[in-house]
Amino acid sequence: MEYLPKEPAILVSAVNMLLRDGEFDSLESLCYNFNEDPTEVKKRMKEEGYIYSEEQKQFRPIGFDK
């Protein structure tokens, strides 16, 4: 993968997969690898109804993040 997808559902899937499979140890390292600002990615995903769980290291739908 050369860049992070722009489509929210695909972005959630890609980020969660890369973190789950251990290719990156944090959202920050993943974002920096793809020249993205982690704060902006979190903001964009929150606007789409997803929130990042630091504990689970994945994006979850808002309301299912606990």
Whether pLDDT at 66 is above 70: no
Q: How far apart are CA 31 and CA 49, in angstroms?
A: 19
Contact 33, 3 (CB under 8 A): no
pLDDT tens-digit map of 5-57:
999 999 999 999 999 999 999 999 999 999 999 999 999 999 999 999 999 99
Q: What is the pLDDT of residue 54?
A: 92
Phi-psi region of 63 (alpha: psi -120 to 50; beta: other; left: phi over 0): left
